Structure 1
Amino acid sequence: MKERLPNIRVRTNHGSMVARDGIVICFFMHRSHGEVIHAVWRALQTYRRSIPSQALNWYVDQNGDFQPLDDKGWEHIRKKMLERRWPVACGVDIEEHCDEVGGYNFEYQGYWLDAPLFMYEEGTTCAVSFTLPTEYLVEHGPARVRALALELARELPFSFGYASLALVSSDGDWFMARDTVRELRDRYLGLDIYRLGETSQHIGTQARGAYWLTFLGLPLLGRLGGLEVLRRRLPFPDVSLETLPPLEGERVLVTLGEWPEAIDTAEQERPSPQRLAFAHLLEPFLHEERSGWFSLFGDDKEDMRRWIRRFCP
C-alpha cells in the first residue's frame, strides 16, 4: 500500500510551503485541563522518544512569535502546561520548522471545563495532536505507527481519537492556498483536513469520522452499543478491534486495514466496505463544525457537512 501514498507539497504563490502529506494522531478528551494535563505531558514525552531527537525545534510564544525550543524553551513549555492557573486556557504549539510546515508537530488545546459556562462554547473539549511525515510511515511501517498511537492513547482519557493520512499544516495555514486544498480534499477521500483549535471548541463527546485508526471511549462507545455491537456490525477480515488497558471495557481501538488509505478518486479508488459500514455506524454521532474555518472552502455549511459525511451512504 505504500506505493499509493500521495506526495503532497502545498505552496503559496510566493513559494512558501503551508501544507504537506503526513499522519495526524489526534485525541479529544471531554475533561478539564487539570484532569488531563499530566497524561498529555507524559504522552508528549512518549512522542519525543519516538521521533528523531532534533525533530521539534520551535514553539509559539504568547505573542504568536516563534522561539527556539532549547532547554529554556522546554522549561517554559513544562511550566505553561503543568502550572497553568484556573481558569485560563492553555494552548501549546510546537513545530519542526519556523519558516514552513514540517512533518513533526505537537499541538494541545486545554480548557478548564469547570470554569463559568460563559467562558467556553457548549461542547468545548481538551484536545491534542501529534503529526508524523509520511516518510516516517514508509521507513518504519504501519505497525510502528499503530504501536505509537496505541502508546499515546493509553496515557489519555479520550472520548474520541484517530490516526489518519492528513494534510499536515501548522494551525490550519493551508487556508493561504485553499483552492489547491479544495482540489486535494475532493481527490483524496482518505486525507484528513483538520484544525484542532476550532474543532476542540464544540466536538464534545461526538465523533469526527471513520479513520484508519479510530479510538472510542466513553460515553461514545456506550452510545454505539459497546464492543459486542461493534464486532457484530463490523464483521470484516481487515477490521480489528482491540480494548485498551487498564479500562478494557471502556476504550476500544478500531483498525481498518494494515495501511492507511488515501482513496484517490482520480485513480478510481473507492472507500472499502468496512470504512463505509463503520461510517454508517458512526453517522448519528458525527459532530457539525460550527465555526468559520471550514467555510474557507466556499462559505457553504452544506459543503462542509457533506465532507464530514463523505463515507456515509
Structure 2
Amino acid sequence: MTKEYPVIRLWSKGKPPVPTARDGVIFSFFMQHEHKEVALAAWRALQRYRQAVPPGSLGWYGADDGDILELDDRGWEVARQQMIERPSGNSGHALLMESPGGGELSNGYFFEYEGRSANNPFGHAPFSAVSFAFPTEYLQGNGATFLRILALELAQELPFSFGYASFAIISPAGLWSSARVDLIEALLVRYPGLDLHGLEGFGPIIGTRALCPSWLTFLGQPLLGQLGGIDALRNALPFPEVSLLPMDGDRVLVTLDEWPDPIDTQAKAIPPQYRALARLMEPVLFQYEGEEFLPFQQDTNQWLRRFLQP
C-alpha cells in the first residue's frame, strides 16, 4: 500500500531562481538540556539516520564561514567537531544536506542540529534541537511503518521534551523563506496537516512547551505530566486510528493515523483525533509573546492553533 501526496516545489524569488523547498517528511525533537549533555546522543542519532537513507544522500555540509563544502571523509570530521568538539564547548551546530542547490529534487535529505549551554553568549536558556528530513519518495518507497519505527529509534537516543514527525514543506536552514509568501500561505491554508519546518526559529524559544499535534507526536517530561499522563491521553483519544506507545524515561509516542496526512481540506474535514489532541495540549502550546516576531507573530500563533479553530 502507498499513499498519494501533493507535489510541492518552491523556488526563490531572485534571478536566476533556485529550488528552496519541496514536499517531504520532517522529524524534529526539542530538548531543554545543555548542548554538552545532548551532543553525543545527537551524533549517534545522525549515524542511524545516515544508515537509513540511501548512500550519498548527505553530500554537503555548512561550514562556519557560511560556505557549503563537500561532505567527504574530512567533511564528516569537521561536522563531528562542529557538533561535539568546539573549543568553547558553549554551543554546537551542524547542517548536512543532499545538495547545495541547482537541481529540482535537491535538499530532500538533510540534518540540522543546534545546541547551546547555559554559559552561551546569546542569552538564551540552554537548549538543543535536531531535525531529520526525507523526501516524500522515501516515505512512499519504504512505507509509513518503516518511518514510524525509524522515528522511534532516533527518539530513543534523545532526551526530548517534545518532538514530532509530519508531512512538511522541507528546506534546510529555513530556505523556504526566500520563496513567494502567497504560495506558502495557500498551501498551509489548504493542508493543515502540512508542517512548515523551522528548527532555528523554534529551537531557542520553545522551552518545555509543545507545537501542534502531528502524525507522530512525542511527549516527554514535563509536558506529559502537565497533560495528565498517558491515562489522560487514552481518555482524550478514543479513536481507532490512534495508538499510544509508552517509552522509557516516562515518555510516550502518540500516532494519530497509519500514514502522515497533509489533510486536504478541499476533500475532507480535519480528522477528529487531531482536534482532540489539540484540545488536550492547548494549555502547553507554544505561543509568541511580546514583540519578538512582529509583524508575523499573530499569523504564526494562529497557525500553531489551527486544529483548535472551527
Residues in 2 aligned to 1:242 and 1:253: alpha-carbon distance in whole angstroms: 5
User: What is the distance in 2 between the residues matched to 1:83 and 1:171?
Assistant: 22
Number of the residue aligned with 1:181: 184
Matched, 1:34 2:36: yes
SS at match of 2:274: helix
Letter in 1 for 2:42: V
The equivalent of 1:302 in structure 2 is 298
Distance 1:289 1:86 in 2: 31
- Aligned-partner SS, 1:119: coil
- Structure 1 window deviating more from structure 2 (181-190 vs 130-139): it is 181-190
Matched, 1:216 2:219: yes
Question: Is the 2:242–2:255 contact (alpha carbons within 8 Å) kept by the matching residues of 1?
Answer: yes
The one-letter code of the counterpart of 2:168 is A
SS in structure 1 opposite 2:307? Answer: coil
Alignment of 1:52-63 (within 5 A): 52-63=54-65
**Paired residue type of 1:110:** G
1:43-192 aligned at under 5 Å gives the runs: 43-100=45-102, 101-112=106-117, 114-115=118-119, 119-122=122-125, 125-177=127-179, 178-192=181-195
CA distance in 2 between partners of 1:291 and 1:215 (Å): 28
**For 1:196-234, what per-residue CA distance to the aligned partner results, in whole angstroms no more than 9, with x for missing partners?**
112111100100110000000001110011111111111
More displaced 10-residue stretch of structure 1: 60-69 or 84-93: 84-93
- After superposition, where does 1:262-281 map in structure 2 within 5 Å? 262-265=262-265, 267-281=266-280
1:227 to 218, 225, 230: 230
The residue identity in structure 1 corresponding to 2:63 is: D
Structure 2: stretches of 5+ with no match in the other structure: none
Q: Which moved more, 1:80-89 or 1:61-70?
A: 80-89
Tell me by how many angstroms 1:86 deviates: 4.0
Cα distance in 2 for partners of 1:29, 1:84 equals: 20
For residues 132 and 296 of structure 2, what CA distance do their matches in structure 1 show?
29
Match of 2:283 in 1: 284
Distance 1:31 1:59 in 2: 25
Q: CA deviation at 1:69?
A: 0.3
- In the alignment, is the contact (CA less than 8 A) between 2:25 and 2:136 conserved in 1? yes
Deviates more, 1:62-71 or 1:91-100: 91-100
Task: Give the C-alpha shift of residue 119 in structure 1.
Answer: 3.2
- For the residues of structure 2 that align with 1:280 and 1:286, how far apart are their CA atoms? 10
1:293 Cα deviation after fit: 9.7
Deviates more, 1:83-92 or 1:154-163: 83-92
Q: 2 CA distance for matches of 1:137 and 1:292?
A: 38
- Deviation per CA, 1:239-280, whole angstroms, max 9, x where unpaired? 1000123x3xx1100000100111112x23221111100011
- 1:290–1:48 distance in 2 versus 1, CA, 3 Å: farther
TM-score (norm 2): 0.93
Q: Structure 1 vs Structure 2: percent identity of aligned residues? A: 45
Corresponding residue SS for 2:93? strand
Instruction: Check whether the contact 2:20–2:176 (CA below 8 A) recurs between aligned residues.
Output: yes
Give the equivalent residue in structure 1 for 2:199: 196
DSSP 3-state at the match of 2:308:
coil
TM-aligned CA deviation for residue 170 of structure 1: 1.7
Q: Give the residue type in structure 2 aligned to 1:55.
A: S
SS state at 1:311 partner: helix
The 3-state SS of whatever aligns with 1:209 is coil
Aligned-residue offset at 1:175: 1.4
How far off its partner does 1:80 sit? 2.1
CA RMSD of aligned residues (A): 1.9
Q: CA deviation at 1:183?
A: 1.4
Task: Name the structure 2 match of 1:15.
Answer: 17
Note closer, same or farther for the CA distance 1:191–1:293 as it changes in structure 2 (3 Å cut): farther
Unaligned runs of 5+ in 1: none
Q: Is 1:241 equivalent to 2:244 in the alignment?
A: yes
